[in-house]
Structures are given as structure tokens and as C-alpha cells.
């Protein structure tokens, strides 16, 4: 597998993200939509008052989705941005429908400090922290119908989360690879939608949470469904293993189920030379 792409690696190091165009073909897009639609139909009744679905640890429950993580174009892209073929699949695989998130990083840290980092107590600007999140959106996105906002170069400094950003213009089939330390958001930036989403979070009890979700459901009903897939790879080192172990604990709390990667999927990764994190230790 030819993974070297110096310009792509340089762009990723500087900006903290890259957009890879036309990674999934039309057949793969249709298969992914069909598979996710089926899963969402199975789970949506559990929260009838909400249009949002966020499922973590999916390969433990839906192993038929593993073809996405094993996609050779995605793996080649990860190798290219990391500048190395010795990579690990971290067993982070999530699917979402109509999820709207505020500004955050995927490294477990807060605004300006490293408390709670999935990497442990390390310098968050350490060059050897090389974990990337792969984001796949199954519809087009632009400023009118945004999918992902990023703050370029925010992986290189611990800055305030909501200062300066850009909306990525994405076509269905595109893949975004970004550093887990990059500040990003998956919500809408208009003043009206921001007010609705900010002031309907139901923090006090279940009753308010249901009301909050109903309001958000009505708001989202005027927009097409937003399907997305997220997975994580990293350079094969101790930092990646630590990140994976801590991230999986978080995923287990969300899914309430098994965290181990099914053996048949582990063997498929091994067959193509990709390591996986061992959660049995």
C-alpha cells in the first residue's frame, strides 16, 4: 500500500485536519446509508421524543459495519497524514443521527488544561501524540447545512474553544481526518439555532431533558437527516494505547456493553498489517 504523501502530511501537521475527496464510492455510500438507517430504526423507539441518536462502541454490536474501518482508502489516508504505515485501530467506532455538538476536542480535555486527557498526564503539545479521528458524512454539507466546523491549528496550542472557525464544505463520499486535539463543532452557527440549542439543554431533571429534546426535534425536523460515522486510528505507540483504553472506558459508559473488538474483526485488521489495542490486559 503506497501511503507516502508529503503534501498531505504537511497540511495535516500545520492545520490539524485534511479533507480527502471522493473516498467512498456511490455503492459504498448507499450501503452505509442502508445499514445506518436500519440500526437507527431499531434504536429510535428507545427515545421517541428525540430525533438524535448517538451510538458508541458499534463494532461490538454491529460487526457488519467493520468494512468501513477496513476501507483501504481510509487506511491509506491515515497512514499518509501520520507519515507512517505502523498504525493502530483504536476500536473507537461511533455512528450518529442528527447529533449537534458544541465546541470540544476529542482528547478528553477541557478548555485550556489537560485535566481528564485520554492520553493521561502528558504534555498535550507532545509531537508523539498522534491519534486521529476519521469523520464520514453521508450527505453534502456547506454553510447553509453545516456538518463540521473546525478551528485550524488549534491542535498546536491550548486556546479558547470558540474563537475563530471555518465551516468545511463537504460532498457525500468525502472523509475528514483530524487530530483528536483539534477544536471542532458539529452544530449550526446561526444566532437563532444557537439560541435554541444553547437554551434547551434540560440540565435539571429528566422532565426538562425530554422537553429539551422535543424542542430540538421540532427544530431539526425542518432539515434533512444528518448521518455520520466516526472512528479513530493512531500511530502505534504507548500514547495511542493509553488513549484507546481510556476512550473505550468512556464508550462503555455510553453503550453499556462489551468493549472488546470481536476476534473476527481483529483478524481482518491483522491480515492487512493493522494493529488493534488489546483491552484484555
CA distances from 39 to 44, 53, 97, 135, 183 (A): 9, 10, 10, 19, 29
Q: What's the residue count for the chain?
A: 281
Which parts of the chain register pLDDT below 70? 1-3, 44-51, 110-116, 159-163, 187-224, 253-259, 278-281
The 10s digit of each residue's pLDDT in 125-177 is: 888 999 999 999 999 988 777 788 899 998 988 766 656 788 899 999 999 99
**Predicted pLDDT at 112:** 46
**Predicted pLDDT at 186:** 80
* Residue 170, φ and ψ in degrees, nearest 5: -125, 140
**Predicted pLDDT at 174:** 95
Sequence-distant (≥ 6) Cβ neighbours of residue 7 within 8 angstroms? none
Q: How far apart are the C-alpha atoms of 75 and 162, rounded to whole Å?
A: 31
The 10s digit of each residue's pLDDT in 215-243 is: 665 555 566 678 999 999 999 999 999 99
Asked whether 75 and 1 are in contact (CB, 8 A), the reply is: yes
Amino acid at each position: 500500500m503506497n501511503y507516502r504523501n508529503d503534501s498531505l502530511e504537511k497540511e495535516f501537521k500545520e492545520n490539524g485536519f485534511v479533507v480527502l475527496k471522493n473516498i467512498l464510492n456511490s455503492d459504498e455510500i448507499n450501503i452505509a446509508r442502508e445499514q445506518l438507517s436500519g440500526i437507527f430504526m431499531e434504536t429510535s423507539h428507545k427515545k421517541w421524543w428525540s430525533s438524535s441518536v448517538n451510538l458508541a462502541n458499534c463494532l461490538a454490536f454491529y460487526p457488519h459495519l467493520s468494512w468501513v474501518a477496513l476501507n483501504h482508502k481510509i487506511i491509506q489516508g491515515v497512514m499518509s497524514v501520520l507519515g507512517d504505515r505502523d498504525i493502530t485501530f483504536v476500536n473507537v467506532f461511533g455512528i450518529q443521527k442528527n447529533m449537534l455538538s458544541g465546541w470540544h476536542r476529542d482528547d478528553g480535555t477541557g478548555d485550556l488544561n489537560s485535566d481528564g486527557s485520554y492520553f493521561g498526564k502528558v504534555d498535550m503539545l507532545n509531537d508523539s501524540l498522534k491519534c486521529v479521528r476519521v469523520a464520514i458524512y453521508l450527505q453534502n454539507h456547506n454553510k447553509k447545512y453545516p456538518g463540521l466546523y473546525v478551528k485550524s491549528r488549534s491542535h498546536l496550542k491550548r486556546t479558547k474553544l470558540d474563537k475563530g472557525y471555518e465551516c468545511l464544505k463537504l460532498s457525500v463520499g468525502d472523509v475528514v481526518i483530524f487530530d483528536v486535539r483539534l477544536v471542532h463543532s458539529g452544530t449550526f452557527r446561526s444566532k437563532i439555532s444557537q439560541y435554541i440549542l444553547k437554551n434547551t439543554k434540560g440540565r435539571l431533571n429528566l422532565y426538562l431533558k425530554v422537553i429539551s429534546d422535543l424542542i430540538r426535534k421540532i427544530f431539526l425536523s425542518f432539515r434533512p437527516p444528518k448521518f455520520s460515522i466516526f472512528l479513530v486510528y493512531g500511530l502505534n505507540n504507548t500514547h495511542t494505547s493509553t488513549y484507546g483504553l481510556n476512550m473505550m472506558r468512556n464508550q462503555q459508559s455510553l453503550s453499556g456493553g462489551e468493549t472488546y473488538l470481536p476476534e473476527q474483526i481483529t483478524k481482518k485488521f491483522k491480515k492487512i498489517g493493522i494493529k488493534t489495542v488489546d483491552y484484555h490486559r
